Amino acid sequence: MAEQRDGLKERIEGSKEALLGELKEFLRMPSVSARAGDDAGFRGCAEWVARKLEEAGAEARILETAGHPVVYAEVGGGGEAGERTLLSYGHYDVQPPEPLELWESDPFEPTIRDGSLYARGVADDKGDVLSRIQALRLYQQEFGPLPFKLKFFIEGEEEVGSPNLAPFVRGNAELLAADACLWEGSMKDEAGHPVIFCGTKGMCYVELRARGASHDLHSMYGGIAPNPAWRLVQALRTIKDERGEITLDGLHDLADPPSDEDLAAIEDIPFDDDALRASWGVTALDRNLTGRDALKEMLLRPTANIAGVQSGYTGPGSKTIVPSEAFVKMDFRLVSGQSPKQVLKLLREHLSRRGFEDVEVVDLHGVEAAKTPVTSPVVRTAVETWRALGREDAVVYPTIGGSGPTSLVATELGIPTVMTGNVAHAGSRIHSPNESVRLDDYFEAVAYFTRFFGGFGA
């Protein structure tokens, strides 16, 4: 095994220039899904991914959706583990690069500085996508044909909320069937530990709307005119109390209790709230939470977050008015057992019960929570792969605080799903100007996925 591991290390070392050249070529394609008007260029990026999969020995095809296409590919099978199937999910679209003036180099001209590669999409998710394709090629060069079937499922709309993913997955359930799934989105933490995520929170995203007069009024009427901004403030206070506790009727009753294995895994997670506060520039966390209590709050409990408020005049100087309308955007991050449709119903009933029938609740977006047990074989393979690379410090998270369409695969298709590989790190500035990955992390990820394929097929 040591001889094989050294052979792989030498193969990657001798291929670094070529591997990096491919990545740079991928990153030069501005596949920003939030922009309209460049369908040909966007499809060209999908076709490039399909060609790379074919060069790695897979049978690839472009599958249409109502929006940007999906790249699908299959390779391998046969041998003792030939009946097993691994699904690899990722996305080739990227976030808009704006504000451009904050970039130190062109976001679509990959640039190396101080051992890191800077470009839009390098951490989320093009580096992850390509490192897996390169790992497939390297595995076959070093060890021969895959002893299991590997499927690639790479979409082009993740950065705009995957609006066409659900119908695609439901319409192609048999095509996507697998024994386990490698999802995108892992990273190394602030201390450099490889992190393995076993789930995502659900989300119910809403807008609350209140209206007053037909037009803004002079504030001389402030004592008698209905003020929609105050109306929303009063409604919001019924959802979260002065201690910061969520008081939405029935929300906590829906939650599934965490398993003993989840609680044990959380005890093993290194968590430095001092460093977190310092990185945020704050002196205290919400409700003065610290240590393990803060970690459990982040991973195991729902949230009721105000994401944005708009009403009245907010420009320079003064303008004395009673606004005619007010809006607030809220996202509720949900744990296992809490469905966005259930929470939407709870919210409407909660407000009506308190006399706020006039506050309109608009459903903007919702995804289900997804959960794979920390004891799942695919999680064990993820941990053992890090150990095979000499990393004994991998950390398993039962879930993360964020949300995504993971439930479509993990819950609806029933495929155990894990996020691992760690192309990105805590300072990669995902979605921000100067997005980057460290070159050492990228090449380690290529080695990781190559080793993961070997572990899965064993």
Interval 320-370: pLDDT, tens: 999 999 999 999 999 999 999 999 999 999 999 999 999 999 999 899 999
Tokens representing 300 are 């195991």
Phi and psi for 50 in degrees, rounded to 5?
A: -60, -40
**What does the alpha-carbon distance between residue 398 and residue 263 come to, in Å, rounded to a whole number?**
8
**Which range (59-63, 148-152, 185-189) has the least confidence?**
185-189
Ordered domains of the chain (ranges, CATH): 2-198+372-457 (3.40.630.10), 201-255+301-367 (3.30.70.360)
Residue type, 203: M
**What does the alpha-carbon distance between residue 348 and residue 344 come to, in Å, rounded to a whole number?**
6
Q: How are the residues of the chain apportioned to helix, strand and coil, as percentages rounded to the nearest 5?
A: 40, 25, 40
Tell me the H-state helices in 144-180.
165-171, 173-176
pLDDT at site 82: 56
Q: pLDDT (tens digit, 9 = 90+) per residue, 182-217?
A: 999 899 998 899 999 999 999 999 999 999 999 999
- Residue 112 confidence (pLDDT) above 80: yes
Q: pLDDT (tens digit, 9 = 90+) per residue, 249-277?
A: 999 999 999 999 999 999 999 998 998 89
Number of separate helices (H) and strands (E) present in the chain: 14, 21
**What does the alpha-carbon distance between residue 353 and residue 178 come to, in Å, rounded to a whole number?**
46
Q: pLDDT (tens digit, 9 = 90+) per residue, 375-433?
A: 999 999 999 999 999 999 999 999 998 888 899 999 999 999 999 999 999 999 999 99
Phi and psi for 198 in degrees, rounded to 5?
A: -110, 5
Q: Is residue 79 very low, low, confident or very high in pLDDT (cuts 50, 70, 90)?
A: low
